Amino acid sequence: MGGARELAAALFDGAASRTGRVGMGQAIGDLLPFALGVAISPIPIIAIIVMLLSSRAGANSASFLIGWIVGVTGASVALVAISGSLSPGSNGSPSTSSSVIKLVAGLLLVMLARRNFRKRPKEGEAAELPGWLAGIDSFTPPKAAGLGVLLSAANPKNLLLIAGAMVALSQYHLAVGDEAIVLVVFVLIAVSTVVAPVIVYRAAGGKAHDLLGSMKAWLGQNSATVMGVLLLVIGIMLVGKGIGGLSQ
């Protein structure tokens, strides 16, 4: 009898473990579009490229990167804690509050997409970049770190995407350890594109300036179009999920 109980307990633990892994995998898949939306942020990428091409390349780029990671991580942790207070819907359906949040966030992202499309440079016209980018050469490391936090955690687009991701994550009701793993994966994907120029700078050697200069020029010219398409796709997806949740 004791052996049978041990076998049953082992089978139960194995099933629970598999269920947890499935839940984590589904959660990561659900959060992936949001993480990519944060990652594909041309202005922060351009900012760190400009820093890498400046006289304080090492110190300023490292400080900016730390600030960016701290901002994304801090916003994610705070918003998942808030989202965890949302009550689940009946029969495992999304809660009404989470569905409303998704619907509102989706509509706001569609509006941001429209604004980005309107900002696209016309044929043969050079794109206008924020004026503060020209002053990055004079930045100190603390100021670069502050800019990283500001562009990540205080950016309306990023906050909407992170909020949508954390609301989605809260509906899975994962164990604390599993939720932490999903959060780490989300943050790693979200910050990857700002880390990439630093890797290029370290790995490319003498070719780094030319490569980074080309990346900066392309992103500067096409940032509005790239962000417009991305925000529109994610916004429509969120609107659909919000309407679907409210109709259940």
The 10 Å CB-count burial string (b at 16+, else e) for 73-85 is bebbeebbeebee
pLDDT at residue 87, as a whole number: 52
Q: Render each residue's pLDDT in the chain as its tens digit; 248 residues.
A: 555 555 444 433 444 445 456 578 888 988 888 898 899 888 899 999 989 888 788 889 999 999 999 999 999 999 998 877 665 554 445 667 777 877 888 898 899 888 888 888 777 777 777 778 878 878 899 999 999 999 998 888 888 889 888 988 888 888 889 999 999 999 999 999 999 999 988 888 778 888 888 888 888 888 788 888 888 988 898 888 888 877 76
CA 236 – CA 243 distance, rounded (Å): 11
Residues 175 and 190: their CA atoms lie apart, in Å, by 22
> What is the token pair recorded at 76?
């994610």
Q: What is the pTM of this model?
A: 0.79
What's the structural domain count of the chain? 1
Q: Which of 222, 189, 195 is nearest to 49 (CA)?
A: 195
Which is nearest to 44 in space by CA: 31, 59, 61? 61
DSSP 123-161: TTPPPPPPGGGGGGGG--HHHHHHHHHHHHHS-HHHHHH
Q: What is the DSSP letter of 120?
A: S
What residue numbers bound the domain in which 143 lies? 2-246
* Separation between Cα atoms, residue 3 and residue 105, nearest integer Å: 53
Say which residues have a Cβ less than 8 Å from residue 60's Cβ, sequence separation at least 6.
51, 54, 136, 139, 140, 141, 144
**pLDDT for residue 86:** 61
Side-chain half-sphere exposure of 242, counting CA atoms within 13 A: 20
